[in-house]
Amino acid sequence: MIEETEILIIDCPFCKAGMGTLVRGQLFVSGDDEGNEPFKVSLVQCPKCKAALVGLEQMEFGVFEDPKRVWPLPPVRLNWKIPMKIRHSLEESHRCLKNESFTASVAMSGRALEGLVRHFTHPTMGLQNGIKELHTQKIIDDRLNEWANALHLDRNEAAHFSGRTFLQQDAEDIFKFANNICEYVFVLSKEFEDFKMRKAQKP
């Protein structure tokens, strides 16, 4: 039985309240033999606007971490090393996801990919040719080239009057892949080069 006074600190995206939310129900899931840690899912209510929210508490080293909002979609955290204009397209794609504008979200994910292409090629380079160029220059590998070409097709159908309807899962996956490509190119590749340089300098 959940006590009325039990609270969790989870931000409310509706009224922006910074107070604790009231726990209305909880589900505890135990760990398993495959190494998955226990976690708790909580249904909570904002005391200010009365909105329902869902929080997740994951266990790490025997202690539950601070709760994270998993519904409605939590705020996106993009790496600051991704160039600002590309990052803004990803942020707008995620806002469209939150507002259930899934086709618009796909279009903005494609715009972020287009920004990545033009960052390394030419300001007027088309997306399809730009992806080929990134692959030729080995800025992206074979797997990311496959991802980028799949996103290119979806972006075209979202940006033009194709008649296709994008579902939530489609839009979420496309955003995730676009963000991961940007993370790989602008963050992980540079960090790995720095790692190799430091390793080469060691006696």
Pair 182, 76: CB distance under 8 Å: no
Domain termination residue (choose one: 45, 71, 97): 71
Q: What is the CATH number for 101?
A: 1.20.120
Q: What letter represents residue 144's amino acid? A: L
Q: What letter represents residue 188's amino acid? A: L
Identify the CA nearest to 85 among candidates 116, 53, 122: 116
Q: Residue 15's pLDDT is what? A: 81
Residue linked to tokens 């519904």 = 71
Distances 175 to 144, 152, 158, 172, 189 between C-alpha atoms, Å? 14, 12, 13, 5, 20
User: For the chain, how big is the Rg over CA atoms in Å?
Assistant: 21
Q: Residue 1's pLDDT is what? A: 43
**Same domain? 89 vs 185:** yes
**Same domain? 127 vs 48:** no
Q: Which DSSP state fits 41? A: E
Count of structural domains within the chain: 2
The answer to whether residue 200 is domain-embedded is no
**Same domain? 92 vs 54:** no
The answer to whether residue 100 is domain-embedded is yes
Q: Residue 54's pLDDT is what? A: 92
Q: Residue 35's pLDDT is what? A: 64
Residue linked to tokens 């797997």 = 143
Q: Render each residue's pLDDT in the chain as its tens digit; 203 residues.
A: 444 557 888 888 888 776 788 888 888 888 776 667 888 899 998 888 888 889 888 887 778 888 888 888 776 778 888 999 999 999 999 989 888 899 999 999 999 999 999 999 888 888 889 999 999 999 998 998 898 988 888 998 988 887 888 988 899 999 999 999 999 999 888 888 778 788 788 77
Domain termination residue (choose one: 46, 71, 96): 71
Residues in the chain: 203
Range of the domain at 40: 7-71
**Same domain? 11 vs 106:** no
User: Cα–Cα distance between 156 and 162 in angstroms, integer?
Assistant: 8
Q: Residue 21's pLDDT is what? A: 84
**Same domain? 93 vs 54:** no
Q: Residue 34's pLDDT is what? A: 66
